[in-house]
Amino acid sequence: MKKEDLKIVFFGTPEFAVASLDRIVKDGYNVVAAVTMPDKPAGRGHKMFQSPVKEYAIANGIPLMQPAKLKDEDFINELRGYNADLFIVIAFRMLPEVVWQMPPLGTFNLHASLLPRYRGAAPINWAVINGDTETGVTTFFLKHEIDTGDILRQERIDILPEDNVGDVHDKLMTLGADLTVDTISHIIAGDLTPMSQDAILKGEESTPAPKIFKETCRIDWKLSATAVHNHVRGLSPYPAAWTEIHDAMNFEATALNLKVFTTVIDKTSLINSNTPQAGKVSVRNNRLFVTCGDGNEIEIKQLQPAGKRRMNADEFLRGARLPQNCIMI
Note the pLDDT tens digit of each residue in 197-240.
Answer: 999 999 898 999 999 999 999 999 999 999 999 999 999 999 99
pTM summary value: 0.93
Q: Which residue type sits at 66? A: Q
> What would you report as the CA-atom Rg of the chain, rounded to the nearest whole angstrom?
23
Q: What is the mean pLDDT of residues 130-134?
A: 98
| Residues 177 and 261 grouped into a single domain | no
Range of the domain at 302: 215-328
Distance CA(247)–CA(243), nearest Å, equals: 13
CA 267 to chain centre: 29
Q: Which pLDDT does position 41 carry in this prediction?
A: 84
In 3D space, the residue among 244, 226, 238, 235 whose CA is nearest the CA of residue 296 turns out to be 226
Residues of the chain above pLDDT 70, percent: 97
Q: Are residues 187 and 306 in the same domain?
A: no
**Is residue 279 in some structural domain?**
yes
Number of alpha carbons in the 13 Å side-chain half-sphere of residue 182: 15
Confidence (pLDDT) at 275: 65
Q: How confident is the model at residue 274 (pLDDT cuts 50, 70, 90)?
A: low
In a domain, 181, yes or no: yes
Please tell me whether residues 164 and 284 are part of one structural domain: no
31-87 pLDDT, tens digit each: 999 999 999 887 666 688 999 999 999 999 999 999 999 999 999 999 999 999 999
Please report the pLDDT score of residue 7 as a whole number: 98
Question: Does residue 177 have a pLDDT over 80?
Answer: yes
Residue 112's pLDDT is what? 98
Does residue 104 form part of some domain?
yes
101-113 pLDDT, tens digit each: 999 999 999 999 9
**Nearest of 273, 277, 244 to residue 258 by alpha carbon:** 244
- Segment 150-170 shows an average pLDDT of 97
pLDDT of residue 8: 98
Sequence-distant (≥ 6) Cβ neighbours of residue 2 within 8 angstroms: none
Does 208 fall in a domain?
Answer: no
pLDDT of the residue at 106 = 96
Nearest to 69 by CA among 101, 42, 99: 99
* Type and span of the H or E element at 23: helix 15-26
Cα–Cα–Cα angle for 51, 57, 60, rounded to 5 degrees: 140
Residues 160 and 93 both lie in one domain: yes
Claim to verify: residue 182 and residue 219 sit in the same structural domain: no
Sign of the torsion formed by the C-alpha atoms of 313, 319, 325 and 329 = negative
Question: Which residues contact residue 23 at a Cβ distance below 8 angstroms, ignoring those fewer than 6 apart?
Answer: 177, 178, 180, 181
pLDDT of residue 3: 85
The whole-angstrom separation of Cα 267 and Cα 74 is 61
